[in-house]
Amino acid sequence: PYRQKSLGSGFIIDRDGSILTNNHVVENAQKIVVKLADGQEYEAKVVGRDPKTDIAVIKINAKGNLPVAGLGDSDRLEVGEWVMAIGNPFGLDNTVTSGIVSAKGRQIGQGPYDNFIQTDASINPGNSGGPLINLNGEVVGINTAIFSRTGGNIGIGFAIPTNLVQELLPQLKGNGKVTRGYLGVAIQKVTPEIAESLGMNRARGALVADVSKDGPAEKAGVAVGDVILEFDGREVTGSTDLPILVARTAVNKKVRLKVLRDKKEVTLTAAVGELKEEKAAASG
């Protein structure tokens, strides 16, 4: 039978042979072969994968002094800053392209944990999993997607910020997966019109559109129509904040929720559950 081959990119983050790449590059692979810049090839095994953020860690057993890419602080990136993308677009080894950071915190409909760096550095098929590097030589992102109607580069590429990667790395390397908190609510954006109708002085928080039966939120007394203003002492400035805050919370931790109900603020206590794969990630 015919076996399909696909190409992607990655970069070494540890002298033990750990490599960062995209989950979609390796998730269906029966065999993974890593080719280094010096031409040497090694078979790799998957250490950990996280489909929700499209991050994967694989590992090779290579002897010698492996070159390691240092991870920088992606939060310090500024719009307009020069960056370089390295990868293997269309199988063209070690291709380097350059551009600027076009925007930060982009949401492109991939899921509730969207927080992409947008760049106009040329990113094409095969670049997935490769590093986005600043002028200090630090990796600030993992190139992951392009916005294109043709499949080719049109100057809109996206990378996963390294600060998100570093947050998840211990779980990926230690457990092979990421465990996330679960609240059990479906939420929507609080628009200026909704805010006005609820007597709010500005649009903020996350409006509860549905509550999962027997979920942590229902047990805590959260109701449809509530606006969640704070989660575990942190302000929910918009609906996109809540899934991230919940996901980062330890399972079984008791947290305080400040909600707006009937134009009054109410404080509730919820015990955070564990997000299962079959549960809708968008529900938080």
So which residues are the catalytic ones?
24, 54, 128
- Residue that has been written with the tokens 């990667």 in this structure: 165
3 state SS for 62-76: CCCCCCCCCECCHHH
Is-contact 186 283, C-beta < 8 A? yes
* CA atoms of 104 and 133, how far apart (whole Å): 15
Count the neighbouring beta carbons within 10 Å of the beta carbon of residue 102. Answer: 18
Exposure string for 26-39, b = 16+ CB within 10 A, e = fewer: beebeebebeeeee
Using an 8 Å Cβ cutoff, are 250 and 273 in contact? no
**Alpha carbon 45 to its chain's center:** 22
Q: Count of CB atoms within 10 A of residue 92's CB?
A: 12
b/e for 229-249, b at 16 or more Cβ within 10 A? bbbbeeebeebbbbbbbbbeb
Which H or E run contains 45? strand 41-50
Strand partners, 248: none
Under 8 Å between Cβ of 132 and 159: yes
> Two tokens at 123?
């990113």
Q: What is the token pair recorded at 246?
A: 């919940």
